[in-house]
Amino acid sequence: MRFGPTEEQQMVKDQVARFADEEIKPNAAEWDKTHEHPEAVCRKLGEMGIMGVAVSPDYGGAGMDNVTYAMCMIEISRGCGSCGVIVSVNNSLYGYPVNTYGTHEQKLRLLTPVASGKVEGCYALTESGAGSDAGALRCRAELKGDKYIVNGVKKFITSGNVADYCVLAANEDPEKGYKGILTLVVDLKNTPGFSLGTIEEKMGILASGTAEMVFEDAEVPAENLLGKPGEGFRQMLSGLDAGRIGIGCQACGIGRAALEDAIDYAKERVQFGKPITSFQAIQWKLADMATELDAAELLLLKAAWMEDNGLDYEKESAQAKMYASDVAMKAAIEGVQIFGGYGYCKDYPAERHMRDAKICQIYEGTNEIQRVVIARKLLGAR
């Protein structure tokens, strides 16, 4: 059993870690303040192959594995949680379904620009009445001739305000329930009937836009259908399994940032004549944070390894996402506590880590839903 990365994996991880330290982390607070999409960073990450890590070079990707992707995600998110989720959506929620279910022609046309990092992709699933109950979609897609006519409103779509392409989940026949769901890839810049609605004002992850996407008799070519009608729900579930690894890594990276900043601050903060690192109360907080984050990383790497080896990783991805986001939130809260009053002020990064960590317990399936998934797998339920 190997617990260490390969030489290539370590090299890529180190390269991304340096990039995060030099070009992402120094700008994270400003992006948070201005809500600015980190355009230049996304383009540079694309040049490094990180916007399509596990996609074949034939379709613009780097042709690496998902373990490498997980390592990169942790490092990027350690620098900035917003950058982390943008990279995650590109690779997992958009990249995975197109790469897995798309034809050669579809991948050349619809995956290459996103995997190469020239533009962003997004995944439009959630609706006002379809969140945890992902099968309750009201967005309709009716086939008329050689086009699908799409009507519906999607909510809380990460990168929806900046994306050029979208994987869209819609229902062709609501009477069939989840069996009527299909998946379309939408060229957002060239789709009559598509418009942006509300851009959400959020608690955290402020450099990543979260948009309402409106489809009013939007025309999508039938050739952009992934797979066959009725296969969308199965595609959705497998895509979410892959996406949970990315969000778990985002959480782990945010938690590591909280730990690193808490250690640096605690070494400098003097009370009662000595650094607060000399006090056992602080030492134990740091020890718990480090141990739990290390455990989370191992769960995430295991799930990524299982995906790379073609194994059923549904339970493992749910476990990794759930645990990583819970311990990241705990680490962020403890980070604020270690900073004391300064932790509550925007001059220091601790409060941003706490705001950024919270969403990881909610999106890509709430942690309550993760526990349902895990229990079902344990009990053999279908």
The residues annotated with a catalytic role in the active site are 364
Q: Specify which residues 221 forms β-bridges with.
A: 147
DSSP structure class, residue 201: P
Q: Specify which residues 194 forms β-bridges with.
A: 215
In angstroms, the CA 232 to CA 169 distance is 7
Q: How many CB atoms lie within 10 A of CB 27?
A: 17
In angstroms, the CA 43 to CA 2 distance is 34
**141 contacts 229 by C-beta, under 8 angstroms:** no
Output the furthest CA–CA distance in the chain (Å, rounded): 78
And the tokens for 368?
């309550």
And the tokens for 356?
């950024």
In angstroms, the CA 282 to CA 47 distance is 41
In angstroms, the CA 42 to CA 23 distance is 11
Sign of the dihedral through C-alpha 213, 217, 218, 220: positive
Q: Specify which residues 62 forms β-bridges with.
A: none
In angstroms, the CA 65 to CA 309 distance is 10
In angstroms, the CA 77 to CA 324 distance is 13
Q: How many CB atoms lie within 10 A of CB 264?
A: 11
201 by Cβ neighbours in 10 Å (0-12 / 13-18 / 19+) ranks as exposed
**315 contacts 267 by C-beta, under 8 angstroms:** no
Contacts of 182 (CB under 8 A, 6+ apart): 141, 169, 170, 171, 172, 225, 226, 228, 229, 230, 231, 232
Half-sphere exposure of 81 (CA within 13 A, CB side): 32
